[in-house]
Structure 1
Amino acid sequence: MIHHRHAPTSIIALALTSALVVGCSPAPEPTPTPTAAFASEEEAFAAAEETYRAFTSRLNEVDTSDSTTFEPLFALSSGEFEKADREAYSTMHAEGLIVDGDTRILSFQGSEAVSPFTVVVADVCLDVRAVTVVDADGASHVDPDRPDVYALSVTFIYDETQLLIDSAIVNQDFACDEL
């Protein structure tokens, strides 16, 4: 059973007086409610996939001998992911390494997105078997133990205009079907 206590008259009077004083002062500016980046989880996943496909397309267009081709790739990333790519491509450029062959997306599956959809996570399977990295003498710089297919967990963040790739880690818990 819930017991209700009656407030003393002085507290009620104080509350009414406070209400009258507040009523005479200007109303505070309303705090804006954060607007969702996307209307639904499905929309967020679709935007993440669009970003990842654009990133992969730009990746396949990179010419390590021309550093200006790196910028379109970096425009779709952020944080440590972007920093690591900047370092890797700068090193490849400086060392005269040549990347050839295309990375292919085998699958893209949204796995996590919660309103306001400013962070989206997806499971991605990438086929890199056609990608080679060689030096000027033609010697391979690809680890001989590199797998042909990578299962990745990719995190995207919303930067007020678009989703950017913020991290990508190998996902041991996700199985890729090699096509």
Structure 2
Amino acid sequence: MISPTPSFRSFARVAALTSALLLLPGCTPAPSPTPTPAFASEEEAFAAAEATYRAYTDASNATDLHDPHSFEPVYRWLRGKALAAAKANYSEFYASDMTRAGDTTFDSFSAVSYDGGIVTAHLCVDVSEVELLDANDTSVVPADRPPRQPLEVQFTNATTGSALAISSTTSTTAIEC
């Protein structure tokens, strides 16, 4: 019969096996490579940032708030805080049976900075044609919503068609729309 309490020999075998596994070469993870800039110049980075925001806007305009699968193309262009906020917003729109009418556009894309990993830009988002309607087809857009909104957008390196994704968007007073 096997003893219900492990013997000292069992503990010794487990300890020896664990020590041997820890000493095997190649089992420790290689150090993370230092990220290299994705772009050869600031101009390339800013052009990619503008293309990223355009692709994100197109994906957002193509969503059907009654179909959560249509949100996935939007999420591909987002990371970090921007992704978390979009998921929360789209979940709320879906749960509240909202409908969107009209498209968002943007203009006045202005480069701010590029440090090899983060691109920052200012742009004006035009939501003048966008309505959000509740289940009774009543607009839920505040009457005092500005039709054009100034944003500071940060982009981070990502495996997307433009090599960037949006990591944050914040309202800014640095520009006027």
Superposition TM-score, scaled by structure 2 size? 0.77
Alignment-derived partner of residue 60 in structure 1: 61
Alignment-derived partner of residue 151 in structure 2: 152
Contact 1:153 1:170 in 2 (8 A): yes
Change (3 A) 1:143 1:37: same
Following superposition, the deviation at residue 163 of structure 1 comes to 0.8
The AA in structure 2 aligned to 1:72 is P
Contact 1:157 1:164 in 2 (8 A): yes
Alignment-derived partner of residue 100 in structure 2: 99
Matches within 5 A, 1:26-65: 34-65=35-66
Change (3 A) 1:84 1:33: closer
**Helix, strand or coil at the partner of 1:70:** helix
Alignment-derived partner of residue 169 in structure 1: 170
Q: Which runs of 5+ in 2 are unaligned?
A: 1-31
Change (3 A) 1:53 1:83: same
**Helix, strand or coil at the partner of 2:43:** helix
1:81 aligns with 2:82: yes
**Helix, strand or coil at the partner of 1:167:** strand
Matched residues in 2 for 1:59 and 1:136: separation? 20
Contact 1:37 1:160 in 2 (8 A): no
Matched residues in 2 for 1:57 and 1:65: separation? 18
**Helix, strand or coil at the partner of 1:106:** strand
Count of residues in Structure 1 that have an aligned counterpart in Structure 2: 144
**Helix, strand or coil at the partner of 2:128:** coil
Alignment-derived partner of residue 27 in structure 1: none
Superposition TM-score, scaled by structure 1 size? 0.76
Change (3 A) 1:44 1:84: same
Following superposition, the deviation at residue 33 of structure 1 comes to 6.2
Following superposition, the deviation at residue 32 of structure 1 comes to 6.4
For 1:1-35, what per-residue CA distance to the aligned partner results, in whole angstroms no more than 9, with x for missing partners? xxxxxxxxxxxxxxxxxxxxxxxxxxxxxx96643
Matched residues in 2 for 1:109 and 1:63: separation? 30
For 1:72-104, what per-residue CA distance to the aligned partner results, in whole angstroms no more than 9, with x for missing partners? 000000111110110110111011000110101
Following superposition, the deviation at residue 138 of structure 1 comes to 1.4
Percent identity reads 41
Structure 1 runs of 4+ aligned residues shifted over 6 Å read none
Q: Which runs of 5+ in 1 are unaligned?
A: 1-30
Change (3 A) 1:90 1:160: closer
